[in-house]
Amino acid sequence: MLSRLILVSAPVLKSSAPLGAGLVQASRSFHTGQQSLAPVPALPEKGGKVRFGLIPEEIFQFLYPKTGVTGPYVLGTGLLTYLLSKEIYVINHETFAAASIGIVIVYGIKKFGPSVAAFADKLNDEKVAKVQEVKGLAVSNLQQAIEDEKKEQWRAEGRQNLFDAKRNNVAMLLEINYRERLHMVTSEVKKRLDYQIALQNLQRRMEQEHLVSWVEKSVVKSITPQQEKESIAKCITDLKMLAKIEQARATV
């Protein structure tokens, strides 16, 4: 166990912050491998496996080919017996003290070990969860932004229809305006032409009337008094004849 402690603490001492960079150089005395401190190599998921909480599995694996499964246990028992019988380790009052503190330690670890480990894991998990939450929030915000953007694109497409409708509107207004002006122009022109026609008609009528009155006047003027007397005498004779005819018709 102490060997593993030394194995563990050496790189830790090496990587202590102010000396870290320098010691990386120092450990590269044979120029093996890459010279860089990043990316940091991954930590093993679990600690080294131990049996009885003290003896690393590596010893059991090491002895397995020669002595099988019971090898290390026999070694341990033999070693213990040797130390005790040769009184290399003397049993004295310290043994009792060792036994009692040993019981306290083992009991403490068995009882509180899992809960303390769970607490440490919880601390780490909370740390990760806090950061994941930030990341998750950012991801959901971005997704929301993507959806909003898609909606805006759809709206932008719809705007084309709006423009077409407006364009039609404007074209129609222009057409109406044009036609109105055309109509106005034709009516004005027609008014002008009607005036000319009316003027011509008036001219002709006046000429006619003037001619007729002139002809009458000249006729009346041409009737001499002689003709007048003759016409009146004729009329009287015509009338007398008519009266005789009438009287004749009446008596018949």
Residue from 26, 36, 43, 251 touching another protein (CB under 8 A): that is 43
59 contact partners, CB below 8 Å, separation of at least 6: 72
Token pair 């719809």 in the structure block, residue:
158
51 contact partners, CB below 8 Å, separation of at least 6: 57, 60
Contact stretch for another protein (CB under 8 A) within 14-22, 192-200, 217-225, 237-245: 14-22
Query: Among residues 135 and 249, whose Cβ is nearest to another protein?
Result: 135
The full DSSP string for 114-163 is HHHHHHHHHHHHHHHHHHHHHHHHHHHHHHHHHHHHHHHHHHHHHHHHHH
Which 114-153 residues touch another protein, going by CB under 8 A? 116-117, 119-121, 123-124, 127-128
Number of shown-chain residues binding another protein (CB under 8 A): 32
Which tokens is 237 given?
């004779």
Asked if 103 touches another protein (CB under 8 A), the answer is yes
How far is it, in rounded angstroms, from Cα 188 to Cα 137? 75
Contact 30, 21 (CB under 8 A): no
Query: Among residues 94 and 238, whose Cβ is nearest to another protein?
Result: 94
Q: Collapsing DSSP states into helix, strand and coil, what is residue 195?
A: helix
How far is it, in rounded angstroms, from Cα 237 to Cα 241? 6
Contact stretch for another protein (CB under 8 A) within 7-15, 139-147, 219-227, 236-244: 7-15
Tell me how far, at minimum, the Cβ of 140 lies from another protein, in Å: 24
CA-closest candidate to residue 220, choices 148, 32, 212? 212
Q: Which residues of 81-99 are buried (b: 16+ CB within 10 A; e: fewer)?
A: eeeeeeeeeeeeeeeeeee
Asked if 220 touches another protein (CB under 8 A), the answer is no
Contact stretch for another protein (CB under 8 A) within 8-16, 80-88, 153-161, 187-195: 8-16
Asked if 95 touches another protein (CB under 8 A), the answer is yes
Asked if 97 touches another protein (CB under 8 A), the answer is yes
Tell me how far, at minimum, the Cβ of 98 lies from another protein, in Å: 4
Residue from 5, 54, 69, 252 touching another protein (CB under 8 A): that is 5
Chain residues binding another protein by CB under 8 A are: 5, 9, 12-13, 15-17, 20, 40, 43, 47, 91-98, 100-101, 103-104, 116-117, 119-121, 123-124, 127-128
